[in-house]
Amino acid sequence: MAQKRVCPRDTSPLNEIHYETEKVDHCPQCGGLWCDGDELVKVVQSREQKFGEQEHQDINAVEAAAKAQTLVRDTTSEMMCIVCNKPMTRSNYSYNSGIMIDRCPDGHGVWMDRDEIERIQIFVERWEKERSRVEKNYGILLKLGAAQATSGYNRAVREGKESALKGSAILRLLDKLRWRR
């Protein structure tokens, strides 16, 4: 029999609940959620939960305040993974959301405090809408920039300067553009 999981915040027993398409662990005391492995990705992609305009506005206000506090990336977490009991790593979800989550360094899962999963979903929805607007308004420029970056990269490789590009902004941009195809 598997050992009962406990909340990394307050050690209360966690209850398994259905959230969107996944079974996640919920703390009835603090309202936090634990998502194993890739459950958070699946929740964000499922789109079962619908959020209204007021919820988007509420999240915008919270996000703006949180971003001001999370510009400095503090990777220390006082919490331990509920699977392996190793210290988790604290990080800003999607690098700039202002939503600080705690991840197991071995990939066992993610801990989110009360309402953070909803904030993540709204953040992703908003940026997906923004992406389509940006692609519509700036798609030609983005394609031109990608073509120029690719051409410059290929030229540098031909000239034997690939090592000089490692870690460069051009290489990171190319990696992101290739990822979206």
pLDDT at residue 75 in the model: 65
Nearest 5°: the CA angle 131, 133, 138 is 90
Gap between the Cα atoms of 123 and 59, Å rounded: 8
Q: pLDDT tens-digit profile of 80-102?
A: 999 999 999 998 888 778 888 99
Report the Cα 132 to chain-centroid distance in Å: 19
Q: What is the tens place of the pLDDT at every residue in 139-161? A: 788 788 888 888 887 777 776 66
Q: CA-to-CA distance for 38 and 79, rounded, in angstroms?
A: 20
Select from 12, 22, 49 the least CA-distant residue to 110. 22
Q: Where are the domains of the chain?
A: 15-126, 129-180
* pLDDT at residue 42 is higher than 80: yes
pLDDT exceeds 50 at position 181: no
- What local confidence, expressed as pLDDT, does residue 165 receive? 61
SS3 sequence, 98-132? Answer: CCEEEECCCCCEEEECCCHHHHHHHHHHHHHHHHH
Quote the CA–CA distance of 21 and 108 in Å, as a whole number. Answer: 19
